[in-house]
Amino acid sequence: MKNSKMLTVLKDNLWTNNPIFIQILGICSTLAVTNNVRNTLIMSAGVTFATALSSMTLSAMKDLLPRKVRMIIQVVVMSFYVILLDILLRAYLPDVSKQLGPYVGLIITNCILMGRAEAYAAANKPLMSFWDGLTSGLGYMAVLVVISVIREILGFGTLLGFRVMPEGFVTWTIMIMAPSAFFFVAMVMWWAKTEQAKRETAKKEAKK
Amino acid sequence: MFQKQPMMRRVLYALAPIAALAIWLYGPRVILTLAVSLGVGVLVEYLFEKKKGGKVSEAVLVTGTLFAFSMPPAAPLWIVAIGMAFAIFMAKEVYGGFGRNIFNPAIAGRLFVYISFAGVLGGSFFEPGNFGAAAGSLFGRPDAVSGATALATLRSGGDVPILGLLLGTRAGSIGESSIILIAGAAIYLIATKTAQWRLILSTVLGGAVVAAALFFAGVKQALPMQSLLAGSFLFVAVFMATDPVSAPKKPAAQWAYGLLIGAVIIVIRTFSLFPEGTSFALLLGNTFASLFDKIVTDAAKRKAALAAAATGTEALK
Amino acid sequence: MKKDSTLYVVLFTFIVCAIFVVVLAVANEGTKGLVAANKQFATQSAVLGAFGIPFADAADASAKYASEVTEEKSAGYRSWKATVAGTGYTAVEQSGAGLWGTITIILAATPDGQTVRGVRVLAQLETPGLGGRIEEPWFLGQYEGEKAPDGKVIMKAGAEASGKADADKANGRVEGISGATRTSQAFGSIIDAGLERIKAGGGK
């Protein structure tokens, strides 16, 4: 019983209700960090960490939470985890912290955190909320990594910093700039929605 | 395979003399650039339309020609192919094909490759004349030193002979060469009612007024007046701003659209670090086109409603 | 106590905030030493890098820094002196406006400001992947050993930049980053200002 519920949440957050291409949340960071796979991985790991833990914390305190200050407390909890992450990065991974610069702090503005807290953690048990936040973060990560792989290869000719394109390759400046992420987010949405519509009709056909 | 679009054919006729001159100026390489641009454009559109069961529009030939004309003469062919594929795919087919695109595909494609490969394209200009003698070889990429475009010369304070601008014997993109031929094409297009004269006139007017204002107000970076004849300003005014799909339909909206494009071209040219502002200005104009149309329609409706109300009260009396 | 009473709301908010703030404060205090050490290492490794003194790790860098580099401080600016392979060099910390924010570099050169020894970037806020590439070795490497006639290194930025490193050390020219014209130009003028200061004696 529990297992199947967890699977549903997993499938929901990775595919049928993916935060990027269905809920269209967290697009700002999608545009900003996806020109390089390494930063994308760290950033989306940070988002996953913050979403999972803040969802769990908020779910644990939901019975004590007065409605009047619900939003304020949510923001306090989320910024707590984001600042904690920032401090840890600065102390133990100074290079990464320097490269990500302001983006770590900007995780707090990522709508996925608030979205999951409102949509799931407010009505579910802490462990399931943790699982929901974790899988939401993974759904976000999956899309971002796909986009960043294409952008890094075309924009820098490298993958995770290793040269993959031949020497004479002319890099595509536009891939490094935010606008190109728009093209790719749009194409991912297009592909995902077409695919989902196809499966939907296939399912209906099968039922007939 | 093709839809018949007589309007688009007339644009092609108007472009033919410019193509002939370009071959004399920059050599047979121009034909190659055109072939790649048209081939890729038709192919991409065909692949899309096949799925939907539609036909390839003749407009793609115009887009392909205009795109090729906006490239520097020595542009690598793979860049031409990428730009054209982007133009038809991202700026036309994903919107639903001919007649539904918001942005002018040729300009969208040009801007995509100009931002991506600014360095390569910026170094792909060379001095014109004698079938591209300066290029060194007929089809290969020229090893000769790249020439400074007329606009670049003006920006660095140099002088450009007016005659060269009129005849087209100065370095620049393939199609923006001769002002006389472009003006001739404009007359032909207006006479055959292919292009809307309001769009051409308002774009030129907007550019000329802002350029004159900046120049005579003594703004430090302002370019001299002959800069209006340099670069792709007139080419864009005649062939791009008049694109019937992406331009507004109502006369008043067309005036606003042209004036906006003309003014923005000059502002970007004068103050930004980009060598030319026509593409940005046109996309900006495209963005506002339907809004302008809506404002004009709404105003007309309100007027009609007011008039109806007025006559209504008249009748009551 | 009722959940919607003012007292409960105030108390609840206060307690929750207090707990989280205390945890954050503890985390901050606990890592303070590490953060400071990281910062110190960042500066020391940048100075050693600019002088071209190799080092193995943080401890090695700290030792080499203590033994081979002398730090001077005057008028609020930091400068360093070191002798590498028999030649004396001066390094200065130089800041200037970039495209988005201040760029701070460590620049080492001969005391007459005619030959650059090396450059390292301490802090910058330029566009990641474009202007942010001023930290990359191919770009900074162009400065190593570059001659600076008239105390200036010409930055080829904008349309004329090829985006590839300029290998000629004697021409007093470096290539800017393609697509990052403004940052390249800003970086060029920060270098020139730094050379000026080195020529004037470092700290002044």
Cα A65 to the center of its chain, rounded Å = 27
**Is C179 in Cβ contact with B118 (below 8 Å)?**
yes
| A90/chain C closest Cα distance in angstroms | 6
Is B226 touching A (CB cutoff 8 A)? Answer: no
pLDDT reported for residue B186: 92
CA angle B168-B170-B172, nearest 5°? 90
pLDDT reported for residue C204: 43
C-alpha to C-alpha distances, C177 to A133, A206, C133, C157, nearest whole angstrom: 40, 57, 7, 7
pLDDT reported for residue C1: 62
C-alpha to C-alpha distances, B61 to B8, B75, C25, C145, nearest whole angstrom: 8, 19, 66, 54
Higher pLDDT, A141 or A31: A141
Provide the mean pLDDT of chain A.
86
Question: For B230-278, what is each residue's pLDDT tens digit?
Answer: 888 889 999 999 888 889 989 999 999 999 999 999 988 887 766 677 8
| A47/chain C closest Cα distance in angstroms | 18
Higher pLDDT, C27 or B144: C27
Backbone angles phi, psi at B241, to 5 degrees: -65, -25
Give the number of residues written for chain B.
317
Residue spans per domain, chain C? 72-199
**Is C178 in Cβ contact with B119 (below 8 Å)?**
yes
Structure tokens that stand for B44 in this block? 């991409």
In this predicted structure, the answer to whether residue C202 has a pLDDT above a threshold of 60 is no
pLDDT reported for residue B114: 85
Looking at chain B from residue 37 to 76, which residues have their Cβ under 8 Å from any Cβ of chain A? none
Which is it for strands A158-159 and C116-123: parallel, antiparallel or unpaired? unpaired
In this predicted structure, the answer to whether residue A167 has a pLDDT above a threshold of 70 is yes
Is A87 touching C (CB cutoff 8 A)? Answer: yes
> Which residues are bridge partners to C104 per DSSP?
C95, C123
Question: Between A36, A68, A80, which is nearest C128 by CB?
Answer: A36
Is the four-CA dihedral C104, C110, C113, C114 of positive or negative sign? negative
Most B CBs within 10 Å, among C127, C130, C164, C178, to test the B interface: C178
**Is B115 in Cβ contact with A183 (below 8 Å)?**
no
- Ranges A51-65, C55-69, C185-199: which has the least confidence: C55-69
Is A88 touching C (CB cutoff 8 A)? Answer: yes
Neighbours of B99 (CB within 10 A): 11
Comparing CA positions, the residue from B156, B160, B163, B197 lying closest to residue B179 is: B163
pLDDT reported for residue B221: 73
Residues 6+ apart with CB under 8 A from A172: A154, A155, A180, B116, B117
Higher pLDDT, B274 or C118: C118
Dist. CA C52–CA C74, nearest whole Å: 24
Show which residues on chain B lie within 8 Å of chain C, measured between beta carbons: 118-119, 122-123, 152, 273, 275
| B115/chain A closest Cα distance in angstroms | 6
In this predicted structure, the answer to whether residue C203 has a pLDDT above a threshold of 50 is no
What kind of fold does domain B6-316 have according to CATH? Ammonium transporter fold (1.10.3430)
C-alpha to C-alpha distances, A185 to A101, A151, A192, nearest whole angstrom: 23, 12, 10
Label residue B235 left, alpha or beta by phi (over 0 means left) and psi (-120 to 50 means alpha): alpha
Looking at chain C from residue 160 to 179, which residues have their Cβ under 8 Å from any Cβ of chain A? 163, 178-179
Dist. CA C88–CA C74, nearest whole Å: 19
Label residue B129 left, alpha or beta by phi (over 0 means left) and psi (-120 to 50 means alpha): left
pLDDT reported for residue B144: 46
Residue spans per domain, chain B? 6-316
**Is C182 in Cβ contact with B122 (below 8 Å)?**
no
CA angle C16-C22-C25, nearest 5°? 140
pLDDT reported for residue B107: 92
Question: For A35-90, what is each residue's pLDDT tens digit?
Answer: 788 888 888 888 999 999 999 999 998 888 888 888 888 889 999 999 998 888 88
- Ranges B84-93, B145-154, C30-39, C142-151: which has the least confidence: B145-154
Tell me which chains share at least 3 CB pairs under 8 Å with chain A: B, C
pLDDT reported for residue C129: 67
Dihedral angle over CA of B3, B5, B11, B17, nearest 10 = 60
Show which residues on chain A lie within 8 Å of chain B, measured between beta carbons: 170, 172-175, 177, 183, 186, 190
Dist. CA A102–CA A87, nearest whole Å: 13
Chain A residues touching residue B81 (CB < 8 angstroms): none
CA angle A109-A111-A115, nearest 5°? 135
C-alpha to C-alpha distances, B137 to B27, B28, B134, B164, nearest whole angstrom: 9, 10, 8, 24
Which is it for strands C77-84 and C116-123: parallel, antiparallel or unpaired? unpaired
Most C CBs within 10 Å, among B125, B273, B274, B276, to test the C interface: B273
**Is C130 in Cβ contact with A91 (below 8 Å)?**
no
| B298/chain C closest Cα distance in angstroms | 42
Asked whether B263 and B249 are in contact (CB, 8 A), the reply is no
Residue identified by tokens 């207006």 is B190
pLDDT under 50: residue ranges of chain B: 143-145
**Is A183 in Cβ contact with B116 (below 8 Å)?**
no
8-state DSSP, C115: B
Chain C, nearest residue to A88 by Cα: C31
In this predicted structure, the answer to whether residue C63 has a pLDDT above a threshold of 90 is no
pLDDT reported for residue C128: 65
Cα B230 to the center of its chain, rounded Å = 14
* DSSP string across B161-210: -HHHHHHT-SS--SSS--HHHHHHHHHHHHHTTSS-HHHHHHHHHHHHHH
pLDDT reported for residue B257: 94
Mean pLDDT, to the nearest integer, of C85-96?
Answer: 87
* DSSP string across A142-176: HHHHHHHHHHHHHHHSEETTEE-S-TTPPP-HHHH
CB pairs under 8 A between A and B: 16
pLDDT reported for residue A93: 83
Instruction: Provide the terminal-to-terminal Cα distance of chain C, rounded to the nearest Å.
Output: 67
Tell me which chains share at least 3 CB pairs under 8 Å with chain C: A, B
Is A156 touching C (CB cutoff 8 A)? Answer: yes
Chain C, nearest residue to A82 by Cα: C24
